Each structure stands twice: as C-alpha cells, then as structure tokens.
Amino acid sequence: MSMGPWNAKAFFERYAYAIEQELTSTPGVAPTWAPGHPQEWGQEKAAVRLGQDSHSTPALSPDDRLLAVGVGEDVHIYEVATQELVQVLKGHSGTVEAVQFSGATYDHGYLLASDSQAPIPDDILGGTTSAAILWHLDRHGKPLSPIVEEAGTGGVPADANLRFEGGELGRYGSSPFSPDGKTLVFLRGNQTTQYDEEEGRSRDAASLPSVTLWSLEGRAARQQLRGHTDAIQWIAASPDSSRVASAAWDGTARIWDAATGALLRVLGPWNEDGANPHGGQLWAGAWSPDGSHLAVARGDPTARAYVCEIATGRTASSVDFGVQARSLAWSPDGRTVACGGGGATLVLWDPYTGREQMRWCLAFGHDVRMGRISSVRAVRFLNARGRGAKIIFQVNCGTVHVYDLETNEKYQFAKRAEDMPDSFPRAEPACSTRLVVVPGSEGVLRLWDL
C-alpha cells in the first residue's frame, strides 16, 4: 500500500512522542524518575549559542574542560565552565563534519581530530573532497602552532597541526584515536561508488576505500589497510590498541594487526535469509571490553546485529532489527550489547547467548512511515566508579534518554513540541559520566549534568 508523497511539515505536525516500552533493570518494576527529571529544553544548566546551525556532533575533552564543535569551515573550542569561545581553529576548506578528542593524556594538553567535506567545483554528479586535520592543543584549547601543515611533507615541527588531504574520520561510533593515544585511525578514498566515470572503468584496487594508521610518535603513516570494496562506515582500535576493526558497505568486517597491518579475520558477509546476495551493508561496530568479540550492525533491507568471536569467526549471537540497525555499544562489564535502530527501538541482549535482556521503543500505532523514519542513535554506556552504570541514547527527533541500570532510575532531556523543527537534527549528543551536551538544529548546544 502506498504511503503517499512525503510532506515534512505534515509529518512533524503528526509526530507524537509516546513510549511503548521502557528499560528496567528490575523485572516487573517500572523505572522511577531520577531527582529533578524529566527535564525539557530550556531547563538546561547552560547553553552555547553557535550563531549558526551545525551538522557536527560536538566533542568533550576527556577532563570535561573543553567542548569542540564544527561551525561552518571552522572548529570552535569552548570552555565548558563558562561557555566562553576560547579559540577558532582554521584550516579546513569545507564544512566540518566531525570532531573528536583523544581520550589519552598528553603532556602538552589535548589531541583533537576533525574532518570536512567540500564540493568539487563543476562536478555534475555532486562529488565532494574530504580532508582530516590533527590538532595539538594546550590546556586552554589553543593550538601549540598556528600553522596547519600537509602531512608527510617532512621537516614538520613536532607540535604542528597536520592536514591529511583526502582523509576522513569514521562514523557511527568510530574512534579516530587508539586507546593508548599512540595511533590516529582514519579513512582514505572512502567513496561509495566504485566506478570511475571519467576513466569509464572500475576503480583500481589502490584507490578503493582504505584505513590509514598514523603513528603519533613517529609522525608517519605506519600501515595502509586495504581489502574493502565499498565505503567504510566504522573503524576503531581494540581496547588494548593491538588490532583495528573496520565495517563497510561491502557486507564485511575486517580485523587487522595494528603493528604489522596483517589481515587477521574477515567477518561476513551474512546472507542467511537470501534477501541480499552480498549480505547487506554494515554500518557500525563495537569491541567487547576484553577484545575477544566484535559486534556489528547491518542496515537495510534486512537489518540485523551480530556478535562474532574473533578467534574463530563464529557468530555467537544475532538480533533481527527490521530496519536501520546503525548504533552499537558494549557494556563495560562485557555482559550486554545494546543496538539502536529504526522504529525508535533499542534492544539489549546477552552477546554470548543471544537472550534479550531489555527493550525500549516508542509507540507509532499503524503509522508505518513515522516508525520507519524515527530511530534510536548515539547509544553509549557510561560507567564511573561510585556513580553506577548508565546507558544513554537519543531518538533522532532530539530527545535524549538515560537509564541507570543499577538504581533503575531514568533521566530524560526532552524536546518540547514548540522546539520541533521541520527536520531531525543531524548532530548527535556528546556525553561523559558527568555531563551531556545536546545539539539542536537551531545552532544551540544545551548542557546538562548527569
């Protein structure tokens, strides 16, 4: 049955936010509100006004002192305590799409990675060119050097900011820095089309999407990881930094030795239902805390999340999601994998048995389109000593939910009806164990304590 032509205004006028099923860590007992909740936009403790809309997900420094976000072709650095703009980083020639801090500790201050996309002049197919920049910042968020140098040119000062032409950061929960803070992980040649229109033939293997491992100590490319035949969506180093995993639209996930670049394992493609001869596109991934397993999420048309044992390649468990399984997280204790997807649904399950533990979803009744367009994203676990274990996620209309799985309490930072735009915001929230930053489509970052 046809759902009729798409009308964004009519859709958002009908959009109703009603929770059908909530998370609860105590079976049969509904969660209770944390003190002071629920809260709505406008009740935040502080706000950063960017002056224009931003598609960039913000990033918090590991000590929560600084907040970075892409604004146009620049990266803005704010002081969290005062919301003061302390620095504008210039060096990109296109719109900044992503920013991320390294979680490691450095003597000088912080490392920040950003990337941008710019349209190719006179490209009738709408092509873009990308660039990634590595920034060395002091404790106040100011660059140690005002110069942005092209990487690999030689004779570059140790504190110079490095530009990687054609570089791109991963998406969907990717991390551009290894946990030990010694390697920058980014993509090159990451176009989805594998056919060179100008040459009239398939792209050469050397120009297909690849993963670059850049040594932050040696200031040189250590490995170039090749083998994927379509766009790579997710990349991250293992918890011990010894391996790197990637997940791509070619339906496979690959595990690499970070020191040698050797391919250790190819996972997928999965084609158990015969719906897609290539097994479907992979969108996201998550390492188990001990590095023994990898969870990956497959998108349309047959969305499913898988947990695989790396040593054997065996699929330990899987969960059918229907549509848009694109956000994954693994709990710090290793006992739970969470996957967010279409139909505004979040599923938590035992990664080793496949048993569903909890489910959260919105109610859309018979409105098929509303269910398909609404999704859960930005799923993460938060765990700090003495502060409980929490899971945070966002529904793509903008509302953010947090559940404390130890106390069975819930937090909500809700978008009011009057805040509903005519499109969902592209940027996702940034969070730490103490703070959540929620971007809006009107150029405002809202800060709340957790």
Contacts of 93 (CB under 8 A, 6+ apart): 73, 116, 118, 131
- pLDDT value of residue 2: 40
φ/ψ region of 421 (left if φ > 0, alpha if ψ in -120 to 50, else beta) reads: beta
Give the angle subtended at the CA of 260 by the CAs of 257 and 262, to the nearest 5°.
Answer: 55
Query: Residues with Cβ < 8 Å from 368, sequence gap 6 or more?
Result: 3
What per-residue confidence (pLDDT) applies to 146? 85
Residues 198-233 as b/e (b if ≥16 CB within 10 A, e otherwise) read eeeeebeeeebbbbbbbebeebeebbebbbbbbbbb
pLDDT at 12: 64
Q: What is the pLDDT along the chain (450 residues), one digit of tens a residue?
A: 344 455 556 666 666 778 999 999 888 899 999 999 999 989 999 999 998 888 899 999 999 999 999 999 999 999 999 999 999 999 999 999 999 999 999 999 999 999 998 877 665 555 678 999 999 999 999 999 888 888 877 667 888 899 999 999 999 999 999 999 999 999 998 887 665 555 555 667 777 899 999 999 988 999 999 999 999 999 999 999 999 999 999 999 999 999 999 999 999 888 766 555 556 889 999 999 999 999 999 986 678 899 999 999 999 999 888 778 889 999 999 999 999 988 889 999 999 999 999 999 998 766 666 766 788 999 999 975 544 589 999 998 889 999 999 999 999 999 876 666 566 778 899 999 999 999 987 789 999 998
**CB atoms near residue 236 (< 10 Å):** 24
Residue 415's closest CA among 41, 45, 15?
Answer: 41
Provide the pLDDT for residue 191: 81
Q: How far apart are the first and last CA of the chain?
A: 45
**Residue 272: is it exposed, middle or buried by C-beta count within 10 angstroms (0-12/13-18/19+)?**
exposed
Query: How many residues comprise the chain?
Result: 450
Q: What local confidence, expressed as pLDDT, does residue 122 receive?
A: 60
- Residue 336: the pLDDT is 95
User: 12: buried, middle or exposed (CB in 10 Å: 19+, 13-18, 0-12)?
Assistant: middle
Indicate the pairing of strand 46-49 with strand 444-449: antiparallel
